[in-house]
Amino acid sequence: MNNIIYINKDPILQELDNSIDKASAKRMLAFKHFNNDLNLVNDYLKKTKYKSLSKPCLNKKAGKKLESLKFSF
């Protein structure tokens, strides 16, 4: 078992995978790591051949649940 390869996942990609709103996460990553340049983020993601692990929520009922949690004063 000496030929086991351990892959350290990139923290930038982990942060993007863990986010719910991918567009906002990209802007935040551009600000934090790429001198606020969204084009550099997109180039980096293309270079790493990034594919999102989670799919966006298309369930309309989930959106209604979020609206019901808002307080109306």
| 62 and 55 Cβ atoms separated by less than 8 Å | no
**Rounded to whole angstroms, how far apart are CA atoms 25 and 70?**
23
pLDDT in tens, 1-58: 566 655 667 888 889 989 999 999 999 999 999 999 999 999 999 998 877 655 555 5
Q: Identify the pLDDT of residue 48.
A: 87
Nearest to 27 by CA among 38, 14, 39: 38
Distances (CA, A) of 62 to 5, 36, 52, 68: 40, 32, 20, 10
Q: Identify the pLDDT of residue 37.
A: 93
Q: Identify the pLDDT of residue 3.
A: 66
At residue 14, the 3 state secondary structure works out as helix
The model scores a pTM over 0.75: no
Q: Identify the pLDDT of residue 36.
A: 92
Q: Identify the pLDDT of residue 56.
A: 53
